[in-house]
């Protein structure tokens, strides 16, 4: 009997999860997403191809491996259809090796409308949501009003759909939202709805399964399963910087509920962190840099959202946040990505603790959004060297090795590997 290994982000998302999952896939039989939905953007690069996945797991390019969209995930059928088509253009037929949980919830066009309506109503306090309908769809799930993938096969699906849509239109009305002016991909709600309904036919072509049985049977047979996280621990619904979070459980606990595996069946927990830090959308970010260094991180790191194209906010690595994430997830191994972005830096800083009201702490405060936090910074000498061409961890420049050693020391978690470019081949295992 084997266990589920987990790979998830330890920061505010975009740590490079897609790339690392793709690299790890040859070691596994099944790759499974357990939460999130089309708010995710996971980038893979190999053989000169760059590909961004949103709902489909990052193991899809390995045709001998199975991919599963678990019950904890949200599916927007039209976005899913586009993703399937983009893969077909690269000669990948996902119908063959992608299974979908019948219990995964659907994002309706009217959920996307409500996402926009909620953001508008929040005004200056808006979350900076990706506007994919994540919050409203998970709200309906918890309120026991949602529609699930398995429902599309039922004779009364359209009836249930209409009922839910009417509720959403009423909510939009109470929020004074201008439904007539609302657009998705330049389409009115009615126009988009036609597409959305048509794309259900694509969804029906897939193996729709009870994924909890499937995954547990795979484990019983000794097969190896990797759970792929979306977003990051600091965006978790419970432990992130609430309310500036996403609406799912992004941590290891989410694997149990999002795939239907027992806690005793969790194996390795691999966490990913960039060598610095980014965040997209609103909310606290104590180490954010508003200066030239921040701008260089953004430009050198191509820090623009893979889903929305928005520029990501950039700053130094935040160790209190990273330690918090390691604690919440039970991280057993660390992946560090993108140190190459800082190749030209004379000096690299690490925030080791926070100063709040004159007191030093390494705990994330409850009042994270309100208090003024001054990061306590420790300096490291830059390595001032290109990393391209380096093929062994031990051959990395000494100053980078010192920085990685420091990351191990402050988190108490060993580094398993470091990634030094967007390409699949540039992951150096320690």
Residues forming beta bridges with residue 30, ordered by sequence position = 66, 225
| DSSP code at position 237 | T
Q: Contact between 14 and Mg ion (CB under 5 A)?
A: yes
3-state SS assignment for residue 292 = helix
Whole-angstrom distance, CA of residue 39 vs CA of residue 37 = 5
x-or-dash string of contact with Mg ion, 265-304, rule CB under 5 A: ----------------------------------------
Kindly tell me which of 255 and 396 has the beta carbon lying closer to ligand IMO: 255
Residue 128 interface partner, choices ligand GDP, ligand IMO, Mg ion, none, CB cut-off 5-8 Å depending on type: ligand IMO
CA 126, CA 2: separation in Å to the nearest integer?
43
Q: From the list 104, 230, 336, 420, which residue makes contact with ligand IMO (rule: CB under 6 A)?
A: 230
Q: How far apart are CA 240 and CA 234, in angstroms?
A: 4
Residue in 5, 22, 29, 42 annotated catalytic: 42
Kindly state whether residue 236 participates in binding ligand GDP, applying the rule CB under 6 A. no
- The reply on whether position 337 binds ligand GDP by CB under 6 A is yes
The verdict on whether 42 is a catalytic residue reads: yes
Q: What is the DSSP letter of 151?
A: G
- Contacts with ligand GDP in 265-324 (CB under 6 A)? 302, 306
Per the annotation, the verdict on 346 as an active-site residue is no
CB of 13 to ligand IMO, least distance (A): 2
| CA atoms of 31 and 24, how far apart (whole Å) | 10
Report the DSSP pairing between strands 373-381 and 347-356.
antiparallel
Cβ(249)–Cβ(34) below 8 Å: no
In whole angstroms, how close is the CB of 427 to Mg ion at the nearest point? 17
* Contact present, 7 and 42 (Cβ < 8 Å): no
Exactly one of 4, 6, 8, 9 binds ligand IMO (CB under 6 A); that residue is 9
Asked if 78 is part of the footprint of ligand GDP (rule: CB under 6 A), the reply reads no
- Strand 207-209 vs strand 266-274: parallel, antiparallel, or unpaired? unpaired
Residue 130 makes contact with ligand IMO by CB under 6 A = yes
Least Å distance between CB 308 and ligand IMO? Answer: 7
Among the listed residues 72, 135, 136, 146, the single contact to ligand IMO using CB under 6 A: 135
Q: How far is the CB of 132 from ligand IMO (least distance, A)?
A: 5
- Our CB check for ligand IMO shows the closer of 280 and 322 to be 280
Sign of CA dihedral 263, 268, 258, 322: positive
Q: Does residue 284 interact with ligand IMO by CB under 6 A?
A: no
Interface stretch with ligand GDP, choices 11-19, 117-125, 245-253, 256-264 (CB under 6 A): 11-19
Interacting positions 338-397 with ligand GDP (CB under 6 A): 338, 340-341
Phi, psi dihedrals of residue 225, rounded to the nearest 5°: -120, 135
| SS3 assignment, position 158 | helix
* Contacts to ligand IMO from residues 21-60, by CB under 6 A: 36, 39-42
Contact 241, 224 (CB under 8 A): no
Tell me which of 71, 231, 241, 273 binds ligand IMO, using CB under 6 A: 231
Residue among 237, 389, 402 nearest 336 (CA) = 402
Residue 282's φ and ψ, nearest 5 degrees, are -85, 170
> Of the residues 14, 29, 115, 426, which is catalytic?
14
- Return the number of other C-beta atoms located less than 10 Å from residue 391's C-beta: 9
Question: Measured from the CB of residue 420, what is the shortest distance to ligand GDP in angstroms?
Answer: 5
Span from 24-32, 103-111, 122-130, 349-357 in contact with ligand IMO (CB under 6 A): 122-130
C-beta separation of 11 from 233 below 8 A: yes
CB 58 within 8 A of CB 66: no
Q: Is residue 297 within 8 Å of residue 303, measured between CB atoms?
A: yes
| Binding status of residue 41 toward Mg ion by CB under 5 A | yes
The encoded tokens of residue 76 equal 């927007």
From residue 33 to residue 62, what is the string marking binding to ligand GDP with x (rule CB under 6 A)? Answer: --------xxx-x-----------------
Task: For residue 276, count CB atoms less than 10 angstroms from its CB and return exposed for 0-12, middle for 13-18, buried for 19 or more.
Answer: buried
Residues that bind ligand IMO (CB under 6 A): 9, 12-14, 36, 39-42, 127-130, 132, 134-135, 230-232, 235, 246, 280-281, 306
Active site residues: 14, 42
Residues that bind ligand GDP (CB under 6 A): 9, 13-19, 41-43, 45, 302, 306, 337-338, 340-341, 419-422
């Amino acid at each position: 009997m084997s266990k589920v290994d987990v790979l998830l982000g330890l920061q505010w998302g975009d740590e490079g999860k897609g790339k690392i999952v793709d690299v790890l896939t040859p070691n596994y039989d099944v790759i499974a997403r357990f939460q999130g939905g089309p708010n995710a953007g996971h980038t893979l690069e190999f053989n000169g191809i760059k590909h961004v996945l949103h709902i489909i797991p990052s193991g899809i390019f390995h045709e001998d491996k199975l991919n599963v969209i678990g019950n904890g995930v949200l599916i927007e059928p039209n976005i899913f259809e586009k993703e399937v088509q983009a893969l077909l253009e690269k000669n990948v037929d996902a119908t063959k090796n992608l299974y979908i949980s019948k219990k995964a919830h659907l994002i309706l066009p009217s959920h996307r409308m409500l996402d926009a309506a909620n953001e508008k109503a929040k005004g200056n306090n808006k979350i900076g949501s990706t506007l994919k309908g994540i919050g409203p769809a998970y709200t309906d799930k918890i309120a026991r009003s949602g529609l699930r993938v398995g429902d599309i096969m039922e004779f009364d699906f359209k009836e249930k759909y209409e009922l839910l849509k009417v509720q959403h239109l009423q909510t939009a009305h109470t929020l004074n939202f201008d439904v007539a002016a609302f657009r998705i991909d330049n389409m009115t709600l009615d126009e988009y709805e036609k597409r959305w309904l048509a794309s259900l036919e694509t969804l029906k072509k897939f193996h729709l399964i009870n994924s909890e049985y499937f995954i547990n049977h795979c484990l019983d047979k000794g097969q190896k399963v990797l759970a792929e996280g979306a977003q990051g621990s600091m965006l978790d619904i419970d432990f992130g910087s609430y309310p500036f979070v996403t609406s799912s459980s992004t941590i290891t606990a989410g694997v149990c509920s999002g795939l239907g595996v027992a806690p005793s069946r969790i194996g390795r927990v691999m966490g990913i962190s960039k060598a610095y830090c980014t965040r997209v959308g609103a909310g606290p970010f104590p180490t954010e840099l508003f200066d030239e260094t921040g701008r260089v991180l953004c430009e050198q790191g191509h820090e623009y959202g893979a889903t929305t194209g928005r520029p990501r906010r950039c700053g130094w690595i935040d160790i209190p946040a990273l330690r918090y994430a390691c604690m919440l997830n039970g991280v057993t191994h660390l992946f560090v990505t993108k140190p190459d972005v800082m190749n030209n830096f004379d000096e690299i800083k690490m925030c080791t603790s926070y100063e709040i009201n004159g007191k030093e702490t390494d705990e994330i405060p409850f009042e994270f959004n309100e208090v003024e936090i001054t990061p306590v910074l420790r300096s490291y000498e830059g390595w001032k060297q290109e990393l391209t061409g380096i093929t062994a961890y031990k051959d990395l420049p000494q100053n980078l090795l010192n920085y990685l050693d420091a990351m191990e020391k402050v988190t108490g978690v060993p580094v398993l590997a470091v990634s030094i470019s967007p390409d699949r081949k540039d992951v150096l295992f320690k």
